[in-house]
Amino acid sequence: MKLTTYDVARMIDISCVRSFNTREDIRKMAEAAMEYSFICAHVLPSNIPYLKELLAGNTEVLTGCPVGFPSGGSETKTKIEEMKNCVALGCDEIDVVINIGWMRSGLYRQAEEDVKAVIDASGETPVKLLLEVSQLNDEQIRRGAEIAMRVGAGFVKTGTGWMDEPTTMHHIEVIKEVVGESIGIKASGGIRGLAAIVEMHRMGVTRFGVGYQASLDIIGESQAFPDGIEL
């Protein structure tokens, strides 16, 4: 099996979700998303209407956003309302951040009840549960992956991309041992090159969260393999 440039793009959620991203950044991201057919473009909730305008008429690129970003530390009722608003604005996929401080404190039941209530408010909109694995130990990551399966998430997502520490192959191994083929894995945080995409895909990752510029760099790398990338 080989991966084409199109295949690579269809695994990448291109994003402008940093606090400093401007409307111009988002415009450029949307143009790139449509040019290369990235599967989803992610922005912060306040920019959903603008992104929807930019993507109007395009049938390949989904609109994504986070809820509870970046710490998961807001009250449950606040995150429920944020979820409902993102759904109402037409978001196609939503990444929900687990309460990272609660996970680090061993408050697994509370963290699960919190994200279940938030995910239940998503209706039919697909949801990924974000764990911020670089801040968790292996046991906490396993517990988070178990929670993701129980609360109806379609994917476990590894990170916000706001941490200095990247998602590693070990993090993927720990999650895969728990979820198997039951739900997907989205790797995000410090993924900067095609080699990481290919290796993690071999390990079972099917979605990647990558910033705007790094996404373009990865596409550029993949174009150096016109016959496809051997898996």
Note if 176 is an active site residue: no
Do the Cβ atoms of 131 and 103 come closer than 8 Å?
A: yes
User: What sign does the dihedral 150-207-45-160 (CA atoms) show?
Assistant: positive
Q: Which of 13, 79, 95, 114 is catalytic?
A: 95
Give the CA angle between residues 221, 161, 115 to the nearest 5°.
130
Q: Which of 79, 114, 128, 157 is catalytic?
A: 157
User: Any catalytic annotation for residue 157?
Assistant: yes
Distance (Å, whole) CA 167 – CA 180: 18
Residue 70: cis peptide before it, omega within 30 degrees of 0: yes
Over its C-alpha atoms, the chain yields an Rg (Å, rounded) of 17
Catalytic residues: 95, 157, 186
